[in-house]
Structure 1
Amino acid sequence: MGFWERWMQRSRPPAPRPASEPREQPRPERATLGERASLPPEPEIPRTPTAPESRIVTRERLVAAMRRHGYHYLTDERGDLCGLWGYRFFSFHIVENRILQVRGRWTRLGHIERLGELLDLCESWNRHHPYPKCYVRVQDDGQIPVLTEIAVPIGSGLTDAQLDNHLQIGLAAGTAVFDELDRRYPDPVAQGLV
């Protein structure tokens, strides 16, 4: 069946229905060019509240976020915020107004003899967890601090909720790494061995 045959079938009136079949509701007539069509009123769409606006992350906004959560903090010699959370040291850095870093440092230091074990722990953590980045630094005296870091791009700004979320994730994720370190390497002083 070609195009014209199909077209002709569409323009034919429908065949009469038996009385037992329900009838369709009549369709409203279309308005002609000079008449106005009476359309049903459009349903009112509820307005959603506008999304909070992203703003540039500044030191002042970090301070406000700390205060919102009741965190106690200090300011270091470079003007960065830092403090102790569960006896673990964390610092907060804004790098070139493009990146917010939350860094943590384990309260104890490993020794060079344990470098392989600490590297394995960091590698395993980084392989199995999306954050935080876990790494070590070997100091000149052979002691090894274990560090964590979360870096968040902030070039286009963050809302207060996003800023709060990133601070909390940095603290919680770093604490999880340090809890694992404390489990693997119990503090001899806390155990009464020293």
Structure 2
Amino acid sequence: MLGARSPAKHHSPRSDEEAPTPLTRERVADYLRGRGYQFLVDDDGDLTGTWDGNRFWFLLLGEHEEILQVRGRWQRQLPLERRRAVALAINDWNRERIWPKVYVREEDGLLALYSEVSADLEQGATDLQVAQLVACGLGTGVQMFSALDALIPLDDAQPPGTPND
């Protein structure tokens, strides 16, 4: 019959596909354990550990703890007078890359730099999705902190490309 539509096909998930389930700290911890990573639970109940000397937290945020955030803090702090140079460096990073979001905060009279990868998992997530988000947060955070180490030398070090006297 002209103009008649055939019934929509109902696609059921293949039996080997995992259905999304609610996000939990235990699922994040299972991923970290499965990778052999060392971590602990802090006083707030958050998972935390260090990678390449930088502190990372695996936070469940939101009213129903449906947002997974991997937050990293660079192991170094900088004097306040370096704010402009740091702002330019992290602005370049944020403009040229999707992950992680990078920002600077003043803490105890010094500058602290943070990385964040966040995802709203209100509808749940598969273990593979949780693994990809955690790996993305850690991998891009460590990469960014490593880039900062190269861009911002220690105060007593020569900047990269400076000839030796």
Range into which the TM-score falls when normalised by the shorter chain: 0.7 to 0.9
2:111 is aligned to 144
Residue 36 (structure 2) pairs with residue 70 (structure 1): yes
Aligned to 2:22: 56
1:96-139 deviations in Å (ceiling 9; x for gaps): 22210000010000111100011111111111101100000012
- Counterpart check, 1:79 vs 2:50: no
Match of 1:113 in 2: 81
- Counterparts of 1:158 and 1:179, CA distance in 2: 30
Tell me the C-alpha RMSD between the 2 structures.
Answer: 1.9
1:54 is paired with a residue whose SS is: coil
Give the TM-score normalised by the residue count of structure 1: 0.70
Shift of 1:187: 3.8
Measured against aligned partners, the alpha-carbon deviations of 1:6-55 in whole angstroms (never above 9, x if no partner) come to: xxxxxxxxxxxxxxxxxxxxxxxxxxxxxxxxxxxxxxxxx954411111
**Equivalent residues in 2 for 1:92-111, closer than 5 Å:** 92-96=58-62, 97-111=65-79
Gaps of 5+ in 2: 1-12, 159-165
Provide the C-alpha distance between the structure 2 equivalents of 1:118 and 1:186, rounded to a whole number of angstroms.
12
Other structure's SS at 1:106 match: strand
Q: Paired residue for 2:150?
A: 183
Report the count of equivalent residues. 144
2:99 maps to 131
Which whole-Å CA distance do the structure 1 matches of 2:61 and 2:157 have between them? Answer: 37
CA shift in 2, pair 1:48/1:95, >3 Å: closer
3-state secondary structure, aligned to 1:108: strand
Alpha-carbon distance in 1 for matches of 2:154, 2:142: 16
Please report how far the alpha carbon of residue 190 of structure 1 lies from its aligned counterpart in structure 2 after TM superposition.
8.9
Amino acid at match of 2:41: T
Aligned-pair distance for 1:56? 0.6
Higher RCO structure (Cα 8 Å, ≥6 apart): 2
Higher fraction of strand: 2
Give the Cα–Cα distance (whole angstroms) in 2 for the partners of residues 137 and 102 of structure 1.
Answer: 17
Query: Partners in 1 of 2:17 and 2:156 — Cα distance?
Result: 51
1:48 to 1:92, Cα distance in 2 relative to 1, 3 A: closer
128, 131, 138: which one aligns with 1:164? 131
Give distance in 2, aligned partners of 1:176 and 1:51. Answer: 31
Q: What is the percent sequence identity of the aligned residues?
A: 35
